[in-house]
Chains A and B, each alone.
Chain A
Amino acid sequence: MTSIVSSAVPMPDAVLAPQVASAGYWRSVLQRLHRDPVAMACAAILLLLVLAALLAPWITPADPFKASMLKRLLPVGSSGHWLGTDELGRDLLSRLIYGGRLSLTMGIVPVVLAFVIGTSIGVLAGFLGGKINMVVMRTLDVFYAFPSVLLAVAISGAMGPGMSNSLLALTIVFVPQIARVAESVTTQVAKLDYIDAARMSGAGTLAIIRVQVLGNVLGPVFVYATGLISVCMILASGLSFLGLGVRPPEAEWGLMLNTLRSAIFNNPLVAALPGVMIFITSICFNLLADGIRSAMDLRR
Chain B
Amino acid sequence: MPPYERLLIPMPPVTQLVRSPDRGGPVQPLLSVRNLVKHFPVRDGFLARTKRAVHAVDDVSFDVAKGETLGIVGESGCGKSTTARLIARLMLPDSGGLLFDGDGVDEFGGMSLQEYRRNLQMVFQDSFASLNPRMTMEDTISFGPREHGVGRQQARTRARALLDRVGLRPAQFAQRYPHELSGGQRQRVNIARALALEPRLLILDEAVAALDKSVQAQVLNLLQELKTEQGLTYIFISHDLHVVQYLCDRVMVMYLGQVVEVGPVAQIYSAARHPYTRALLSAVPSMDPARRTSKPPLSGDPPNPINPPSGCRFRDRCPHAEAVCASAAPLLHGQGNAAHLAACHMTMAGSGHSAAPALEIHV
* Residues in chain A within 8 A of chain B (CB atoms): 1, 4-5, 8-9, 11-12, 14-15, 17, 19-20, 22, 25, 192-194, 196-204, 207, 211-212, 215-216, 298-299
- Identify the closest chain A residue to B132 (Cβ): A194
- Identify the closest chain A residue to B151 (Cβ): A1
Task: Please tell me if B250 contacts chain A, counting CB pairs below 8 Å.
Answer: no
In B146-175, the 8 Å CB interface with A consists of 147-148, 153-154, 157-158, 160-162, 164-165, 169-171, 174-175
**Chain B 171-196 against A: per-residue CB contact (8 Å), 1 yes, 0 no?**
10011010100000000001001000
Contact size range, B: 35 or more
Provide the main secondary structure of the chain A interface.
Answer: helix
* Residues in chain B within 8 A of chain A (CB atoms): 15-16, 88, 90, 113-114, 117-118, 120-122, 124, 126, 129-136, 140, 143-144, 147-148, 153-154, 157-158, 160-162, 164-165, 169-171, 174-175, 177, 179, 190, 193, 197
Q: How far is the CA of A9 from the CA of B193 in the complex (A)?
A: 15
Q: How far is the CA of A12 from the CA of B114 in the complex (A)?
A: 31
Cβ contact within 8 Å between A1 and B157 = yes
Known: A4-B16, A199-B117, A201-B143. 17 other contacts (CB 8 A): A5-B161, A12-B161, A14-B170, A14-B171, A15-B161, A15-B170, A20-B175, A194-B129, A194-B132, A196-B122, A200-B117, A201-B148, A202-B113, A202-B118, A211-B143, A212-B143, A216-B133
Cβ contact within 8 Å between A198 and B143 = yes
A203-B144 contact, Cβ under 8 Å, with A17-B171, A299-B179: yes
Picked from B130, B162, B164, the residue with its CB within 8 Å of the CB of A197 is B130
Cβ contact within 8 Å between A9 and B164 = yes
A193-B130 contact, Cβ under 8 Å, with A4-B154, A5-B161, A202-B114: yes
Q: How far is the CB of A5 from chain B (nearest CB, A)?
A: 5
Q: How far is the CB of B182 from chain A (nearest CB, A)?
A: 14
Instruction: Identify 28 residue pairs between A and B in the complex whose beta-carbon atoms are under 8 Å apart, listed by A's number.
Output: A4-B15, A4-B154, A5-B158, A5-B161, A12-B164, A14-B164, A14-B170, A15-B160, A19-B171, A19-B174, A193-B124, A194-B140, A196-B130, A197-B190, A198-B143, A200-B90, A200-B122, A201-B148, A201-B193, A201-B197, A202-B117, A203-B144, A203-B147, A207-B147, A211-B143, A212-B132, A215-B132, A299-B179
Q: How far is the CA of A237 from the CA of B174 in the complex (A)?
A: 50
Q: How far is the CA of A277 from the CA of B122 in the complex (A)?
A: 57
How many residue pairs at the A-B interface have CB separations less than 8 Å? 110
Cβ contact within 8 Å between A194 and B161 = no
In the complex, chain A residues whose CB is within 8 Å of the CB of B118: 202
In the complex, chain A residues whose CB is within 8 Å of the CB of B114: 202
Cβ contact within 8 Å between A200 and B170 = no
Q: How far is the CA of A194 from the CA of B143 in the complex (A)?
A: 11
Cβ contact within 8 Å between A197 and B170 = no
In the complex, chain A residues whose CB is within 8 Å of the CB of B174: 19
Cβ contact within 8 Å between B129 and A5 = no
Q: How far is the CA of A9 from the CA of B141 in the complex (A)?
A: 15
Q: How far is the CA of A22 from the CA of B147 in the complex (A)?
A: 23
Cβ contact within 8 Å between A15 and B144 = no
In the complex, chain B residues whose CB is within 8 Å of the CB of A8: 16, 158, 161
Cβ contact within 8 Å between B135 and A15 = no
Q: How far is the CA of A211 from the CA of B143 in the complex (A)?
A: 9
- Across the A-B interface, the 9 shortest Cβ-Cβ residue pairs: A201-B144, A193-B130, A215-B134, A22-B175, A203-B147, A193-B124, A193-B129, A202-B114, A15-B160
Picked from A11, A202, A299, the residue with its CB within 8 Å of the CB of B147 is A202
